[in-house]
Amino acid sequence: MKIIRKLFLKKGLAKRFYYFGIGFSIGLIFLSFGPENRLKKTFYAYIDYFSPSKRVISHLYPYDKKTNKKKYPNFSIEAECQLIYYDLKKSDILSVREDGKVNFNLSDKKSSPCQYFVVENNLLNSFLSVRFEYCFASGDVTVMSFTLNNEKNICDN
């Protein structure tokens, strides 16, 4: 305790903390103004890190580990059949990731080597539930199947 008191009693250290506080405050003001509120973006990204649903969905955007470029997820034969049956586009199905929530009750996150996650969202006034397969080792993401409005599975193999 005596060492800490001596450090704070020195004029130089207190002055440094004072100048640091002023500089930090000015930096926060600069970050909060402008066309893009970088402070707000950073804060929201930090808060989203603690949401398990957001963390899982961030892994469902596959990228090539060698080139660091985004890849398009694969679609299983069942998912391709369902796309034709419902007359939907792949981009419609993948849009479930944007504001979707992961249903952890229907997901199988303990399986190995690939985990299965069910992401649910509303799409074109319909309830869409998409089952993704995420392989951590390879970074591959596959759309296994999906259902619209909780209908029975179409195109079961």
**pLDDT by residue (tens digit) across 58-97?**
878 877 667 777 778 888 888 888 888 888 888 888 888 8
40 and 67 together in one domain: no
State the average pLDDT over residues 111-129: 85
Number of domains in the chain: 2
Question: Is pLDDT at 115 greater than 70 in this prediction?
Answer: yes
| Cα first-last separation, the chain | 71
CB 111 within 8 A of CB 135: no
The model's pLDDT over 19-71, given as tens digits with 9 standing for 90+, comes to 888 898 888 777 777 666 666 777 777 777 778 888 888 878 877 667 777 77
Query: What is the pLDDT at residue 53?
Result: 82
Whether residues 41 and 68 share a domain: the answer is no
Indicate if 68 and 140 belong to the same structural domain.
yes
Give me the domain span that covers residue 21. Answer: 2-46
Q: Which residues fall within 8 angstroms of residue 88, CB to CB, at 6 or more apart?
A: 82
